[in-house]
Amino acid sequence: MSSRCSVSRDAPPASCCGGDAPKDWMRLAFAVVVAMQSMVLGLAINLSPPFGKARPILHGLLAALALLVFFLAGLPLVRDAWARARARRVSIEQFFLAGIAGAFAASVHSSLTGQGAIYYEVVALLIAIHTFGHLLGERRRAAALASADALRREFDACVVLRGETEERVSAASVRPG
């Protein structure tokens, strides 16, 4: 009895469907839409600053939208950054949070003092960029794990030759000799 262990040509390719939750894609869509609208409004405010009662209303609206995006779509970013900080590791999530905090703080300062540009839209934009990158990374990670699992299953099986017939058996059941 002879045997050979190899990858079967008949094996279907590993599927690469990631387990993305629809809510993650909705978070991304929400962040992108708010970022686009905030960019338009922020550009208008930076080019032609509003006066009177319109100023606090428009600045407040942009700040509220930035906070809304942060709390609806940015909390996974905060959780990841906090977990890495507790493990005493520096990560890209912490840099994203620093950029978000800086943009928000500069915008609040500008809103309160009336000097300088506002950057509330950067909060939504950075959260959208991070969320999109995270979703792509998770999808690629799931595809790589599925491929590795399919490869492992292929090498767990062998073809045993018994005379002229081939029989597919578990690699663990094959004995030398």
The model's confidence at residue 3, banded by pLDDT at 50, 70 and 90, is very low
Structure tokens at 86: 């507790």
Predicted confidence (pLDDT) at residue 124 exceeds the cutoff of 80: yes
| Residues 6+ positions from 111 with CB-CB distance below 8 Å | 56, 59, 60, 63, 118
Helix/strand/coil for 136:
helix
Burial 101-112, CB ≥16 within 10 A → b, else e: eebbebbbebbe
The model's confidence at residue 95, banded by pLDDT at 50, 70 and 90, is very high
pLDDT (mean) for 62-68: 94
